[in-house]
Structure 1
Amino acid sequence: MTPQELLKSMFAAAVEAASPAVCVPPPSAVAAEGQDVVIGAGKAGGAMAKAVEDHWDGPLEGLVVTRYAHGLPTDKIEVIEAGHPVPDSAGREAATRILKMVEGLTEDDLVLCLISGGGSALLAMPAEGVSLEDKQAINKALLKSGATIGEMNSVRKHLSAVKGGRLAMAAAPARVVSLMISDVPNDDPSIIASGPTVADPSSGADAIAILKKYDIDIPDNVRAVLEDKANETPKPGDPRLATVENIMIATPQDSLEAAAKVAEDAGYPPMILSNCIEGEASDVALVHAGIARQVAEFGQPAKAPCVLISGGETTVTVKGNGRGGRNAEFLLALTVALEGHDGIYALAADTDGIDGTEDNAGAILTPDSLQRAADKGVSAKDYLADNNGYNFFSSIGDLVVTGPTRTNVNDFRAILIEK
């Protein structure tokens, strides 16, 4: 097995570990005496709905919203596709219908909520006083700003009628069980899909401070909503959320450990650096490059051959006009930093199969990537300055293309050091 093949096998194992078919629990763990209603949002929504249907014997109805091209055929649970990462009218319609489905339930009823990454954009019901166009504009600005996922979702919660615990509040007094696939650092349930069934510790004032931090202008009507205490999200300890149970069924750590097992079986001792790395993608790449060089040249903190593995969610402050998501950005910055170092290979990819808004999951780096690109007249430094990682790796045929994986436990990075 070549280093490239091993890295791709590790990524496949990371994705499989978070597959809804593997991690969604049997219905006996959550079934209710009354009505069973299934709702949900996220990139894994279609696959999670199908997994529930495949193992559910009794009456079942529901509605789940997922990203375009991420749906799967289902019989009882309707799956709607909508826009991501920028919300659209299809997401607004789905959120409106979901909210109506959970109203008027009793304490004997069960709301099974299927939550995964991407739900923030997909469950798009603006708060009263905020238009969909307002949310779209602010969302686009946040995506380009370099804001962390936690910061973005703090803003999204306070511009929404369903996020930040509001969906669960609408379902009371029914029992609400949320099955969650984590795509956020530290697996904070209040951040995953902006926590529609989780009490929100942040405030409207926090959201305003975040928008100010990244110099994002907001119209007067949006500012009024954020400043109005009557629009505040339910906080921890709110009795209206007393019947809610949030269960984590797949995490980035699970996926990193599955990938580590593949590396170990192939004779490459793995070292998991962290499952929750954040920061500017190019800065994170510099740190990873430094560790890889230390291993290759001094045998510290591990001896080669080995594989360094990490997860989390980096950000990209967009300054250029190129193509590429945060994984291509990370890998291109790594390429520049390693300067063609002998014996070092790497893969960086998003476990949802989509790096940003592109058609690739990520890319592969080899010791000769820099030279092969230069032979084609492609400058790694110039492409990095233009945020053009997609076209850099496309030019040398090293994009990783999987199509939608229908799950999401965030970024996966692996650096293989042969010697």
Structure 2
Amino acid sequence: MTPAATPSLDDPRALLRYLYDAAVQRALPLHNTAAHLPPPPKGRTLVIGAGKAGGAMAQAVEVLWPADAPLSGLVVTRYHHTPPRPDGLAERIEVVEASHPVPDAAGLAAAQRILELVRGLTSDDLVLCLISGGGSSLLTLPCEGLTLQDKQRINRQLLESGANILEMNTVRKHLSRIKGGRLAAACAPAQVVTLTISDVPGDDVSVIASGPTVADASTCAEALEILRRYGIEVPAGVKAKLESGALETPKPGDAGLAGHQTHLIATPQQSLEAAADAARALGLKAYILSDEIEGESREVGKVHAALARSTAQGRSSLEKPCVILSGGETTVTVRPRAEGQAKGRGGRAGEFCLGLAQALGGQPGVWALAADTDGIDGVEDNAGALVTPDTLVRAQALGLKVSDHLSRNDAYGFFEPLGDLVVTGPTHTNVNDFRAVLVR
């Protein structure tokens, strides 16, 4: 991604996009990998991994690894998320593509191949594992008694249930043969070093991509309770194994994971700080609310709107002109559709913007951008959307009602006719939600 030219303060749209780009730039793998690479081992170096940033992380390792040191491996990323290969860069790590957010046969095949690659390693060998958000779906290997079709159904139901990322990944870890530390255990006795880009609130490495190389403190009982809470069924045999603890994951202190290292190479907080620095360089005050905000997207939008309104009206401790920044991972609970109603389109960022626009009610002097840092909001072709002081007026002129679009989770259908979708294409990184509210 090429940085945009420095924007004018009189162009809020360009300014907000500039801050988003600054956040994404901070999280690109090539900028963050070198300091965390271990020295080449006596034996082989095998690179494995999964995630939306997987292709870019693999290329960063290829650029930085000594040319005379052996290097091979396999990484899986999302369809269309492999970055263009720089001229002259030898391909030493194979990158394959699979489906996200619902797994497919390509992801299953990749997971099987990765598990085979790590078998038969020695204590002289190094496994370098590259992990980023999206890996839970991309690295799918169902437990015994569960089919790929079962996993696809369970994944869809989790995604539409309103479950947060910790809950979803607790379930995923216990229904897998490769997640929740199981991949690391399969690498023994090789040294394992995991480099990870965080896309989860709190940067818990055991949650990112369901922690395939990290010990897991969650339990089968917790996974069962989450499935019960959201009304999600699993085959009777699998349920019985969860109840008995037969599907338990390697726990902290497990001897099989001793000596393994994990390094966070990029985090949501770092990207928010980069955006804040960019705003301050333009003469704006910048306030970071948190990089761990969770909850229903539309409700989080309303909270941001309340803060923006009070700031615009001089009733807040925040001083304008300013930009209010936040990150984290909100959720969208998909509402039941009326008979004959088309399925809504959109993701977390778009739904946040719908809730924000509705609550702002056309407040003068407030603009906002919300977008996913991977460049894809849900499963659409946009990263997110923009809200302006005249969003509601322009929508009314086109016969669009925020309430109607919220009722069917159709942010895309609202912002696309307005020309207010944020379209970036895949960014080749992923530090989750980015939100910026400009108050002048």
* Common fold: TM-score over 0.5: yes
- Residue 225 of structure 1 and its aligned partner are, at CA, apart by 3.2
Letter in 2 for 1:68: Y
| Pairing 1:11-22 to 2, within 5 Å after superposition | 11-22=20-31
Give the distance between the partners of 2:356 and 2:429, measured in 1 at CA.
26
| Pairing 1:313-324 to 2, within 5 Å after superposition | 313-319=329-335, 320=337, 321-324=343-346
TM-score (norm 2): 0.93
Q: For each residue in 1:219-241, what CA deviation from the matched residue of structure 2 results, as whole angstroms up to 9, or x when unmatched?
A: 21331232242321000000100
Letter in 1 for 2:77: T
Aligned-residue CA RMSD (Å) = 1.1
Q: Match for 1:192 among 204, 208, 226?
A: 208
| Pairing 1:240-389 to 2, within 5 Å after superposition | 240-319=256-335, 320=337, 321-389=343-411
Give the distance between the partners of 2:206 and 2:305, measured in 1 at CA.
33
SS class of match (2:291): strand
SS class of match (1:282): helix
- Residue 31 of structure 1 and its aligned partner are, at CA, apart by 2.4
Alignment match, 2:116 = 100
Alignment match, 2:81 = 70
User: Which deviates more from structure 2 when the two are superposed, residues 333-342 or residues 219-228?
Assistant: 219-228
Quote the sequence identity (%): 59
User: Does the CA-based 8 Å contact 1:129-1:225 persist in structure 2?
Assistant: no
Q: For each residue in 1:68-96, what CA deviation from the matched residue of structure 2 results, as whole angstroms up to 9, or x when unmatched?
A: 00113461100010010001110011001
User: Which deviates more from structure 2 when the two are superposed, residues 381-390 or residues 113-122?
Assistant: 381-390
For structure 2, the 5+ residue unaligned runs are 1-7, 338-342
User: Which deviates more from structure 2 when the two are superposed, residues 50-59 or residues 24-33?
Assistant: 24-33
Give the distance between the partners of 2:237 and 2:93, measured in 1 at CA.
37
Give the distance between the partners of 2:111 and 2:52, measured in 1 at CA.
15
User: Does the CA-based 8 Å contact 2:175-2:247 persist in structure 1?
Assistant: no
| Pairing 1:220-239 to 2, within 5 Å after superposition | 220-239=236-255
Letter in 1 for 2:247: N
SS class of match (2:370): strand
Alignment match, 2:184 = 168
| Pairing 1:28-107 to 2, within 5 Å after superposition | 29-56=38-65, 57=67, 58-72=69-83, 73=85, 75-107=91-123
Letter in 1 for 2:279: A
In the alignment of these two chains, the number of paired residues is 418
SS class of match (1:234): coil
Give the distance between the partners of 2:194 and 2:213, measured in 1 at CA.
7
Q: For each residue in 1:219-274, what CA deviation from the matched residue of structure 2 results, as whole angstroms up to 9, or x when unmatched?
A: 21331232242321000000100031010000000000000011111111000000
- Residue 28 of structure 1 and its aligned partner are, at CA, apart by 5.6
- Residue 26 of structure 1 and its aligned partner are, at CA, apart by 5.4
Alignment match, 1:405 = 427
Letter in 2 for 1:259: A
User: Does the CA-based 8 Å contact 2:145-2:235 persist in structure 1?
Assistant: no
Give the distance between the partners of 2:26 and 2:425, measured in 1 at CA.
17
User: Does the CA-based 8 Å contact 2:127-2:192 persist in structure 1?
Assistant: yes
Give the distance between the partners of 1:411 and 1:27, measured in 2 at CA.
25
- Distance verdict in 2 for CA 1:337–1:81, change over 3 Å: same
Letter in 1 for 2:70: P
User: Which deviates more from structure 2 when the two are superposed, residues 227-236 or residues 132-141?
Assistant: 227-236
TM-score (norm 1): 0.98
Q: For each residue in 1:20-69, what CA deviation from the matched residue of structure 2 results, as whole angstroms up to 9, or x when unmatched?
A: 11111258634212110000000000000011001112111000000000
